[in-house]
Amino acid sequence: MGKNTGKNSSGILLNLTKNLFTGMGFIPLLILLLVVITALNQKNFATFSNLQNISRQFSLLALIAVGQMFPILIAGLDLSQGGVMGAVSVLSTLAMLEYGVIPGCILGIFIGGMFGLVNGTLIALFNISPFVVTLGMMSFARGLALMITNGQSIYGLPDSFSYLGTEYIGPFPVPFIIASLIFFISYVILHRTRFGRYIYATGGNQTAARISGINVKLIKSCAYMYCGLLTGLASVVISSRVNSGQPNLGTGAPLEAIAAVVIGGVSLFGGEGKLRGVFLGVVVLSLISNSLNILNVNSYLQMMIMAMVIILAVIVDRFRYAKD
Q: One symbol per residue from 242 to 281: x for binding another protein (CB under 8 A), - otherwise; what is it?
A: -----------------------------xx---------
Among 15, 152, 193, 298, binds another protein (CB under 8 A): 193
Distance CA 115, CA 221 (A): 11
Among 51, 188, 308, 315, binds another protein (CB under 8 A): 188
Distance CA 117, CA 225 (A): 4
Which one, 74 or 145, has the nearer CB to another protein?
Answer: 74
Q: Taking a C-beta distance cutoff of 8 angstroms, is the pair 224, 202 a contact?
A: no
Residue 213 beta carbon to another protein: minimum distance, rounded to whole angstroms = 4
Q: Taking a C-beta distance cutoff of 8 angstroms, is the pair 316, 14 a contact?
A: no
Stretch near another protein under the rule CB under 8 A, chosen from 122-130, 138-146, 199-207, 311-319: 199-207
Which one, 207 or 299, has the nearer CB to another protein?
Answer: 207
Residue 214 in the binding site for another protein (CB under 8 A): yes
Among 197, 302, 305, 312, binds another protein (CB under 8 A): 197
Residue 173 beta carbon to another protein: minimum distance, rounded to whole angstroms = 30
Residue 169 φ then ψ, to 5°:
-115, 110
Task: Indicate the burial class of 26 (C-beta count within 10 angstroms; 0-12, 13-18, 19 or more).
Answer: middle
Residue 215 in the binding site for another protein (CB under 8 A): yes
Which one, 190 or 288, has the nearer CB to another protein?
Answer: 190
Residue 136 in the binding site for another protein (CB under 8 A): no
Cβ neighbours of 134 (radius 10 Å): 28
Distance CA 75, CA 73 (A): 5
Stretch near another protein under the rule CB under 8 A, chosen from 4-12, 97-105, 208-216, 239-247: 208-216
Cα-only R_g, the chain: 21
Among 204, 302, 305, 319, binds another protein (CB under 8 A): 204
Closest among 134, 129, 144 to 88, alpha carbons compared: 144
Closest among 92, 139, 78 to 238, alpha carbons compared: 92
Contact residues for another protein, defined by CB under 8 A: 188, 192-195, 197-198, 200-201, 204-205, 207-215, 271-272
